[in-house]
């Protein structure tokens, strides 16, 4: 089968690889659409500790079941599913608490198992969610990531919320916050196109600046600071900005994964009693809600913010996403429509 293989830093190649066979409890899906995630782009650049070449990435996808392994009902063959790519061990403390995202032996399709930038991919039967639209369904994974961040933020009606970054996670967080009734929703982003999509998704104020310049503008607008910050970038600059922009006793969610080691003002966190919480991927419950929201029509991928391309344009698409000029919120690859 055809697959887009990450062979070395900054190198994606379409190769012919062996078509896999589903084992006990797993299924083989014919891939429909796979979104390119910011974490894949970090991997491509060699900045993600979890990804090692050669690797077929791709964890945001839909596919049609082609073949099932032992112990899987055969009547799902031919049906379309979105796939939760997180595979938990099922018996650790966190799996038992419903926190598969924190599983000690957590494995992810597209990182630890071959992913969906290919004609076919394997996934556990337990991780399948029926969906009605193959493009919309491929948004379930990134939307679930935003949904968890928004849920953990406890943003309430009447709060002022600041979102840093309007890539997919930031943009979808804006959509969810706006849909939940948040009316004071500021976004900081340097890509003009993404800023415009953020406005259409419900942002009420756009700041096309970064770092200290962005902080200056936020401080003029909110002298006491904002109630909630969601950092969907995770660079040293955005983490510092989050801490300096939030009000005393306010809450920050770190969901972006850009820089591991960062310098942040620790005494400000103490003196201002700032709450900081990490948000990593999603639980099964977040994923279920995300699929429901999409089926209910929360996002319309045909408004122009999703671009669909063949696997052969993988290299070019990854290069585009390393810059700050892309016109799209999400680029998806397909092995053939």
Quote the least distance from Cβ 245 to Zn ion, whole Å: 26
CB of 309 to Zn ion, least distance (A): 17
Q: By CB under 5 A, is residue 335 in contact with Zn ion?
A: no
CB of 68 closer than 8 Å to CB of 22: yes
DSSP 336: -
Closer residue to Zn ion in complex, CB, 30/100: 100
Judged by CB under 5 A, the chain residues 68 through 127 that form the site for Zn ion are 88-89, 92, 95, 103
* Of 14, 37, 229, 253, the one binding Zn ion by CB under 5 A: 37
In 3D space, the residue among 169, 319, 161 whose CA is nearest the CA of residue 250 turns out to be 161
Characterize the bridge pairing of strands 120-124 and 26-35: antiparallel
66 phi and psi angles, rounded to 5 deg = -105, -35
**Cα–Cα distance measured from residue 272 to residue 165, given in angstroms and rounded to the nearest whole number:** 24
Nearest CB to Zn ion, comparing residues 24 and 89? 89
Residue count, binding to Zn ion (CB under 5 A)? 6
Whichever of 95 and 294 has its CB closer to Zn ion, that residue is: 95
Between 37 and 203, CB nearer to Zn ion: 37
Q: How many CA atoms lie within 13 A of 52 on its CB side?
A: 3
- Choose the stretch contacting Zn ion; rule: CB under 5 A; options: 36-44, 182-190, 207-215, 295-303: 36-44
19 Cβ neighbours under 8 A, 6+ residues apart = 1, 28, 119, 120
Three-state DSSP at 104 gives coil
CB of 281 to Zn ion, least distance (A): 8
Output the smallest distance, CB 59 to Zn ion, in A: 6
Cβ 88 to Zn ion shortest distance, Å:
4
Which residues of the shown chain bind Zn ion in the complex (CB under 5 A)?
37, 88-89, 92, 95, 103
């Amino acid at each position: 089968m055809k697959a887009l293989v990450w062979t070395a830093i900054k190198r994606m190649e379409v190769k012919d690889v062996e078509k896999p066979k589903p084992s006990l409890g797993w299924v083989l899906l014919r891939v429909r659409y796979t979104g390119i995630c910011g974490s894949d782009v970090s991997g491509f650049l060699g900045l993600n500790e979890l990804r090692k070449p050669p690797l077929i990435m791709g964890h945001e996808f839909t596919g049609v079941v082609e073949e099932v392994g032992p112990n899987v009902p055969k009547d799902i063959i031919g049906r379309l599913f979105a796939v939760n790519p997180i595979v938990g061990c099922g018996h650790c403390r966190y799996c038992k608490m419903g926190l598969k995202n924190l599983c000690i032996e957590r494995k992810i399709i597209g990182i630890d198992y071959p992913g969906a930038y290919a004609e076919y991919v394997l996934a556990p039967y337990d991780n399948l969610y029926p969906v009605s639209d193959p493009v919309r369904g491929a948004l379930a994974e990134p939307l679930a990531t935003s949904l968890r961040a928004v849920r953990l933020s406890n943003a309430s009606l009447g709060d002022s919320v600041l979102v840093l970054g309007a890539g997919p996670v930031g943009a979808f967080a804006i959509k969810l916050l706006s849909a939940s009734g948040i009316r004071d929703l500021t976004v900081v982003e340097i890509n003009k196109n993404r800023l415009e999509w953020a406005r259409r998704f419900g942002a009420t104020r756009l700041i096309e600046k970064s770092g200290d310049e962005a902080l200056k503008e936020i401080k003029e607008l909110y002298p006491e600071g904002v109630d909630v910050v969601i950092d969907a970038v995770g660079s040293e600059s955005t983490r510092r900005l989050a801490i300096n922009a939030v009000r005393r006793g306010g809450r920050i969610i770190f969901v972006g994964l850009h820089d591991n080691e960062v310098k942040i003002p620790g005494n400000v966190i103490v003196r201002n009693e700032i709450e900081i919480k990490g948000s990593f991927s999603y639980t099964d419950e977040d994923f279920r809600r995300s699929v429901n929201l999409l089926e209910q029509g929360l996002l319309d991928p045909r408004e122009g913010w999703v671009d669909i391309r063949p696997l052969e344009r993988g290299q070019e698409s990854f290069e585009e996403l390393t810059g700050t000029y892309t016109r799209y919120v999400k680029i998806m690859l397909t092995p053939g429509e």
